Amino acid sequence: MSNYTEEINRRRTFAIISHPDAGKTTLTEKFLLYGGAINLAGSVKGKATARHAVSDWMEIEKERGISVTSSVLQFEYDGYCINILDTPGHQDFSEDTYRTLMAADSAVMVIDASKGVEAQTRKLFKVCVMRKIPIFTFINKMDRDARDTFELLDDIEKELGIATCPVNWPIGSGKGFKGVYDREKKCVIAYSDTEKGTKEGIATEIPVKDEAHLREIIGEEAADKLLEEIELLDGASAEFDLEEVRKGELTPVCFGSALTNFGVEIFLKHFLHMTTAPLARKADVGMIEPTEHEFSAFVFKIQANMNKAHRDRVAFMRICSGKFDASMEVRHVQGNKVMRLSQPQQIMADERKILSEAYAGDIIGVFDPGIFSIGDTICMPKEKFCYEGIPTFAPEHFARVRQVDTMKRKQFVKGIEQIAQEGAIQIFQEFNTGLEEIIVGVVGVLQFEVLKYRLENEYNVEIRLENLPYEHIRWIENKDEIDLDKLTGTSDMKKVKDMKGNPLLLFVNSWSIGMTLDRNKGLVLAEFSKN
Ligand code: G4P
């Protein structure tokens, strides 16, 4: 057993997914409060402060007042070392949001109790399913009027296709919110509007079999309803099965209110109890076990221009095995180079801390002189294996892009190719043409602005973007079996290829996708590209 086994085994690395405004930031702040990483919730990334955060990562962030970049937070709780991968919460999220999920071992899904499953959650959820990682649900804002609890669970099951297992059960909502019923302990944890920003007070736990006391605390009506619901629930809901949770087939659900800090610690405890230490990852030489292998990592995100003065790039990597020590030499497999990683750091919200060591499960950011690409593997000098690549996710917005000054063709192509290589945008070409016609695809429309801004500022090229009506793109998975010339789609379908020459189809609506599949028997289309 290696000397770093203990450090690795106490690590838990997860991403939080939600639709904007469901309460992801508030919940994260409350987590940090328990961990003691900060003194007062709200001081890390509260909405109000985030709007004016001193972030020099990108001017656009300041101009738009939103966080384009995502960060990593680390805190200690109950002997665990927890890494939270924060994903941009704004509607204009990018492919990076998806990629962040590739670096997590599990996901926390925050749902607004008055709304249920929303668009962005649905999209992020698909990536979790693809990875088969465990998903833990926190239904938030119970202090506001919520939808019926059974209906909320039904919504998750139908919309997302995952079975739910309530860990606890809410008693009322809004002004009538009385607390939650803990199904395992068979007791009620009564709600008190704990002061914002402070730790949860000592919760009052009332066993349901102590019915008189229960009725006295939560009231006759709420008690009647609860007892009835418990009976229904015990008869109807899925059996709790940790194996199924770990395979991502069953999501444990907790209810609470992040704002008033109710149910957060309960959720955290259950979550930590059910998650696993960093998982083994697939490489071309087989599975790499975190505690049985020396240092290895893969790059999942490249952030350009974090420091405007230096125009540098930071490559974020997830450590998959062993211990990282800043003084050691490592191999960048794709670049076939042995090197020391420069300025390894931990990115905490807007702060960066230089690291001397880190372990499997941790995320580090290193200075990138332009050599790393998304999906690259870093390992010990004596080794040379590659982690399974990171898929390319389907963009949803497309535009034709042209440079204004035709003399600047070279800079334009160089700039757009480099930005595409970082993974901020994807570029496509029409079939049978060169780079004259470039179509840019992005996951969130803000990336168009980022592209325009960066080409102007870094490459001195002004561009014009002409929006295209396409909303869906699909890779042709069985491209070798399909004769592209004979492919018959709808009149508004367009055939394009990506930078690697893979054929793709662009569609205006999902109906056209169905039509095309109908007309071309045997055609297999994919929303992710693995190569
Ligand atoms: P996000 O990161 O998922 O986008 O959501 P965020 O935590 O920023 O929360 C969105 C809004 O919802 C915030 O209000 C926040 O205070 C509120 N909120 C979060 N959790 C709860 C909860 O449990 N109960 C209630 N009632 N509200 C909650 P805001 O007015 O947009 O921002 P702020 O000015 O209060 O910071």
pLDDT tens digit sequence for 263-275: 998 899 999 999 9
Among 104, 111, 75, smallest CA distance to 87 is for 104
Range(s) of the chain covered by CATH 3.40.50.300: 5-274
Report the pLDDT value the prediction gives residue 56, as an integer from 0 to 100: 33
Between CA 117 and CA 128 the distance in angstroms is: 15
Confidence at 346, pLDDT banded by 50, 70, 90:
low
Range(s) of the chain covered by CATH 2.40.30.10: 282-379
Segment 481-486 shows an average pLDDT of: 88
Q: How far is the CA of 36 from the centre of ligand 1 (A)?
A: 21
Report the pLDDT value the prediction gives residue 281, as an integer from 0 to 100: 95
CATH number of 5-274: 3.40.50.300
Report the pLDDT value the prediction gives residue 67, as an integer from 0 to 100: 40
pLDDT per residue as tens digits for the range 514-527: 999 999 999 999 98
Report the pLDDT value the prediction gives residue 317, as an integer from 0 to 100: 92
- Does ligand 1 have an atom closer than 6 angstroms to the CB of 115? no
Read off the tokens for 29.
Answer: 């702040």
Confidence at 421, pLDDT banded by 50, 70, 90:
confident
Contact (Cβ atoms closer than 8 angstroms) between residue 526 and residue 517:
no
For the chain, what is the radius of gyration of the CA atoms? 25
Q: How far is the CA of 450 from the centre of ligand 1 (A)?
A: 27
Report the pLDDT value the prediction gives residue 69, as an integer from 0 to 100: 47
* Share of the chain residues as helix, strand and coil, in percent rounded to the nearest 5: 30, 30, 40
Angle, alpha carbons 484-487-488 (nearest 5°): 155
Report the pLDDT value the prediction gives residue 220, as an integer from 0 to 100: 93
The answer, yes or no, to whether residue 350 has pLDDT greater than 70, is no
pLDDT per residue as tens digits for the range 165-178: 999 999 999 999 99
Between CA 257 and CA 96 the distance in angstroms is: 28
Segment 201-217 shows an average pLDDT of: 82
Closest ligand 1 atom to the C-alpha of 28? 7
Range(s) of the chain covered by CATH 3.30.70.3280: 397-526
Report the pLDDT value the prediction gives residue 62, as an integer from 0 to 100: 44
Mean pLDDT of the chain: 84
Contact (Cβ atoms closer than 8 angstroms) between residue 103 and residue 361:
no
Fold of 397-526: Alpha-Beta Plaits (3.30.70)
The answer, yes or no, to whether residue 48 has pLDDT greater than 60, is no
Q: How far is the CA of 112 from the centre of ligand 1 (A)?
A: 10
CA-closest residue to ligand 1 atom 32? 47
Q: Where are the beta strands (DSSP E) in 284-389?
A: 286-288, 296-304, 313-321, 323-325, 329-332, 337-340, 345-348, 351-354, 357-359, 363-368, 377-379
pLDDT per residue as tens digits for the range 7-37: 999 999 999 998 888 998 889 888 888 875 5
pLDDT per residue as tens digits for the range 175-208: 999 999 999 889 998 887 554 444 555 567 888 8
Among 388, 343, 346, 342, smallest CA distance to 363 is for 346
Question: Percentage of the chain surpassing pLDDT 70?
Answer: 85
Between CA 356 and CA 12 the distance in angstroms is: 20
Closest ligand 1 atom to the C-alpha of 262? 23
Angle, alpha carbons 187-163-84 (nearest 5°): 75
- Number of neighbouring beta carbons within 10 Å of residue 232: 11
Report the pLDDT value the prediction gives residue 499, as an integer from 0 to 100: 84
Between CA 403 and CA 412 the distance in angstroms is: 7
Segment 400-407 shows an average pLDDT of: 90
Report the pLDDT value the prediction gives residue 454, as an integer from 0 to 100: 86
Residue type, 301: K
Confidence at 123, pLDDT banded by 50, 70, 90:
confident
Q: Which residues, other chains included, contact 236 with Cβ-Cβ below 8 Å and sequence gap of 6+?
A: none
Closest ligand 1 atom to the C-alpha of 90? 4
The answer, yes or no, to whether residue 39 has pLDDT greater than 50, is no
Between CA 166 and CA 192 the distance in angstroms is: 21
Segment 405-431 shows an average pLDDT of: 88
Contact (Cβ atoms closer than 8 angstroms) between residue 129 and residue 159:
no
pLDDT per residue as tens digits for the range 85-103: 877 655 556 787 888 899 9
Closest ligand 1 atom to the C-alpha of 258? 23
The answer, yes or no, to whether residue 157 has pLDDT greater than 60, is yes
Fold of 282-379: Elongation Factor Tu (Ef-tu); domain 3 (2.40.30)
- Does ligand 1 have an atom closer than 6 angstroms to the CB of 26? yes
Contact (Cβ atoms closer than 8 angstroms) between residue 320 and residue 296:
yes
- Does ligand 1 have an atom closer than 6 angstroms to the CB of 140? yes
Q: How many CA atoms lie within 13 A of 252 on its CB side?
A: 30
Report the pLDDT value the prediction gives residue 322, as an integer from 0 to 100: 97
